[in-house]
Amino acid sequence: MAETDRQVPPAWNAVGRHGVFPEASHDEIARFNFLTNLNMHLASRVLPGVRKAYESRVENGSAPANRREVGELLKREPTYQLWSSLRRNTMEMRQQNSRAMVFRQLPELVEKARQLNRDSNKLQLDASVEIPRYVSAVDTHCMPGSYHTEYCEDDIAAGANYDSGIFVTTAGMLGRYSDGGGQALVEWLREEAKSGFRPKRILDIGCTVGHNIVPLAQAFPESEIVAIDVSAPVLRYAHARARSLGIDNITFRQENAEAIAAEDGSFDLIITSMFLHETSSRALPRILAETHRLLADGGKAIHIEQPQFTPEMPPYEQFMRDWDTRNNNEPFWGTLHDLDLFEAMEKAGFARENITTRGLFAVVDETLFPSAAKAAEDSEDYGRKPAWHTYIASK
């Protein structure tokens, strides 16, 4: 069982506010807190029961050879049915609470973003950019309209919804500004600097609201940063968010990652954070090829993802990690994690001996937020815990 002090996540009130962050009412905060605690309860109290039930069924039959057979076994298991249905419902309720809060004050939020975005050349939208089918065909993470739908002129609703609700899904383990991944990248870059790697130009692909790239901009203000996404609402929000936090060295551009408008060798560092699994099997090779084309000699590309489904990973763990494919509107999650990313990056042009992997844990203010690095093993939530595998390719 996890340690007692790991059972209670911080209150949603600990979320960091900035210039375009939605204002929450008492009841909206109460719903966020309920859902955050329910997620923690499901991960720490109910999920171990699913494992026990699975092991009991295996003891009374043959061991599943793959995750499909695990699914056949668990779909008749009441404990799994309870955990899975509640997990899905916490996501849907998170989205509905965030949406209701954002739409209640959308005109005011849009105006705040307009003021922050006005006359800036750091926000570059392009209405001719088509939303790829792998983005438009599904409401990713059960978010109605996903990240790209616009409800009014200069809309930022999708960005505000995502930014205010992600705390619930991660039980606060991404920190005050949900930027624990970006803070971890800053620590990694400081380590790399000891061996001379100090990127001057950085590209963030699939930046959404910019929560992972802002920490790099704050830590390395002399760096020139470009952050791209296909979705205008999240980019408007991301730019306004960054400006309200005092950031002026990030240019947010609306672009398709499969064909980025930049010269060969333009960047010293390219990052993606939990982005590759949101793409398709056809898009992924093109995106990886773009990272190779755009990297300068001596540059590095780093991709933050969950671990691959290897033969060494037990079928039970593979099945549980694949839950998002079946239940959280992430159709390419399993496909990506079945893939040999080392081989995919090699096909994109990187030399095999220049590709490596390492673990990465969210870096947070541990006086307020749980540390993923110190989280007990039985708090694993199969894809939700902010502890990642990174794939690093050098050119």
pLDDT digits 0-9 by tens, 134-177: 999 999 999 999 999 999 999 999 999 999 999 999 888 999 99
Listing DSSP states for 295-317 in one string gives EEEEEEEEEEEPPP--TTS-HHH
**Secondary structure element (H or E) that encloses residue 254, with its range:** strand 250-254
Cα 40–chain centre separation: 18
What is the reported pLDDT for 376? Answer: 60
Cβ neighbours of residue 197 under 8 Å, at least 6 residues apart? 189, 298, 300
User: Taking Cα atoms as reference points, which of 249, 175, 159, 165 lies closest to residue 207?
Assistant: 159
User: Taking Cα atoms as reference points, which of 355, 235, 372, 362 lies closest to residue 302?
Assistant: 355
pLDDT digits 0-9 by tens, 258-293: 999 999 999 999 999 999 999 999 999 999 999 999
**Rounded-to-integer distance, Cα 208 and Cα 227, Å:** 9
- The per-residue pLDDT of the chain, averaged, comes to 94
pLDDT digits 0-9 by tens, 321-366: 999 999 999 999 999 999 999 999 999 999 999 999 999 999 999 9
Q: The pTM is what?
A: 0.95
What is the DSSP-derived secondary structure letter of residue 275? -
Asked if residue 309 has pLDDT above 90, the reply is yes
**pLDDT band, very low/low/confident/very high, at 3 (cuts 50, 70, 90):** very low
**pLDDT band, very low/low/confident/very high, at 178 (cuts 50, 70, 90):** very high
